[in-house]
Amino acid sequence: MKVLLATALSALISLGTARAAEITPAIVYDMGGKFDKSFNEGVHKGGQDFARSSGIAVREFEPQNDTQREQALRNFARRGQNPIIAVGFNQASAVKTVAAEFPQIRFVIIDSVVEGPNVESVLFREEQGSYLAGLIAALKSSTGKVGFIGGMDVPLIRRFACGYVQGAKAGNPKIEVLQNMTGSTPTAWNDPVRGAELARSQIERGADVIFHAAGATGNGVLQAAADAGKFGIGVDSNQNHLHPGSVLTSMVKQLDVATRTTLEAARDGSWKAGKQVLGLAEDGVGLAFDENNASVVTPEMRRRIDQAKVDIIAGRVAVHDYMSNNSCPN
């Protein structure tokens, strides 16, 4: 009898905790795939962190082509997965459609804005982080030329480029910034060979620090920079470890933190629809410093970066956002 009671009691307790944690999260990644060592991987890490600490399984889907996004979102919604995280601006239209079809399910879109009573839009102030990347690139460069290589030519990536140029100019007013975009289709996120070729062309023209915002294409950029004895700057996730000593730093978007936070909010019932903008002030973006790049970053650079960060947060330095008017002052 006692045993029975105890069993019943424990069953009740576990039922109780199960109810408090009654979310069934799912993530639909962007084309780069969840192990792109960059953007998607940040979200993946956040999902895994959440799964480990909460014991709740996080379902995932990696689309192989554009048409699968909407199907994947709808499939997850139909199975009652809730919340559903859509990674990347490419999914905006799919989220808009599917979120309207399933008003009782919570959607999260990263890197784009979708209006809706059940959609949370997580945005990062890439221009602020890129500004710091440009600043450190200009301080490191001995040739007076730095490079930028973007993935697909879209306003979001232009925002990276624009912030980077402003930061570089702040570090060295006479700096020359070489810019390339990999392409104009989603394959531009997945072409490391082209990334390497673009990086080589910039190095041949004198660039000695190259910042990429190109997903998996950027692996080729960092490789080419390391091969030539120059510096690359990683993006989205901390990529300093890919080529220790040759990756100057990484412009990190705290995708893992953002993902975990929103999942925890959904679990705890504090999740809210609407726009959430993460900038330097919220620690949503920043530069990565660890043992892999300790030898190539001087204390003076760190000081300048910290100062710029304080100035931006305090509003003494305004970084222009390309997407506010689709143009860059420089």
Partner 1 sequence: MTEALDILLPVLGATLRLATPLLLAALAGLFSERAGIVDVGLEGKMLVGAFAAAATAAVTGDVLPGVLAAVAASCLLGMVHAYGCITLRGSQVVSGMAINIIASGLTATLALAWFGMGGQTPALPAAARFLPLDLPGADALADVPVLGRIYASLIGGQTMLVYLALLLVPVSAFVLARTRFGLRLRAAGEHPAAVDTAGVSVARLRYAGVLIASVLCGIAGAYVATAQGAGFQRDMIAGRGYIALAAMILGGWRPGRILLTCLLFGLLDAVAIRLQGAVLPGIGAFPVQAIQALPYLLTVVLLAGFMGRAIPPRASGQPYVKER
Q: Which stretch binds partner 1 (CB under 8 A): 105-113, 125-133, 136-144, 186-194?
A: 186-194
Q: Which of 43, 139, 196, 280 binds partner 1 (CB under 8 A)?
A: 196
User: Residues touching partner 1: how many (CB under 8 A)?
Assistant: 30
Q: Maximum CA pair distance of the chain? A: 84
Least distance in angstroms from the C-beta of 59 to partner 1:
16
Beta 231-236 vs 84-87: how paired, if at all?
Answer: unpaired
- Of 30-38, 73-81, 112-120, 166-174, which segment contacts partner 1 by CB under 8 A? 30-38
Q: Which stretch binds partner 1 (CB under 8 A): 87-95, 118-126, 134-142, 180-188?
A: 180-188
Does residue number 187 form part of the binding site for partner 1 (CB under 8 A)? yes
| Shortest reach from residue 214's CB to partner 1, in Å | 12
Please state the length of the chain. 330
By rule CB under 8 A, what string of x and - marks binding of each residue 227-246 to partner 1? ---------------x----
For 285, phi then psi, to 5°, come to: -130, 165
> Which pair of structure tokens corresponds to residue 256?
């893992």
Work out how close the CB of 201 gets to partner 1 at its nearest, in angstroms, rounded to a whole number: 5
Q: Does 223 interact with partner 1 (rule: CB under 8 A)?
A: yes
* Dist. CA 190–CA 218, nearest whole Å: 9
Q: Considering only 19-27, 71-79, 196-204, 316-324, which stretch makes contact with partner 1 by CB under 8 A?
A: 196-204
191 binds partner 1 per the rule CB under 8 A:
yes
Beta carbon nearer to partner 1, 37 or 267? 37
Among 147, 220, 234, 286, binds partner 1 (CB under 8 A): 220
x-marked contacts with partner 1 along 298-317 as a string, rule CB under 8 A: --------------------
Phi, psi of 289 (to 5 degrees): -120, 125
Does residue number 216 form part of the binding site for partner 1 (CB under 8 A)?
yes
Residue 178: Cβ-neighbour burial (10 angstroms; 0-12, 13-18, 19+): middle
Phi-psi region of 237 (alpha: psi -120 to 50; beta: other; left: phi over 0): beta
Out of 90, 118, 166, 219, which residue is the one contacting partner 1 (CB under 8 A)? 219
Residue 90 interacts with partner 1 (CB under 8 A): yes or no: no
| 35 touches partner 1 by CB under 8 A | yes
Out of 48, 100, 183, 317, the only residue in the binding site for partner 1 (CB under 8 A) is 183
Binding site for partner 1 (CB under 8 A): 33-37, 41, 62, 179-181, 183-184, 187, 190-194, 196-198, 200-201, 204-205, 216, 219-220, 223, 242
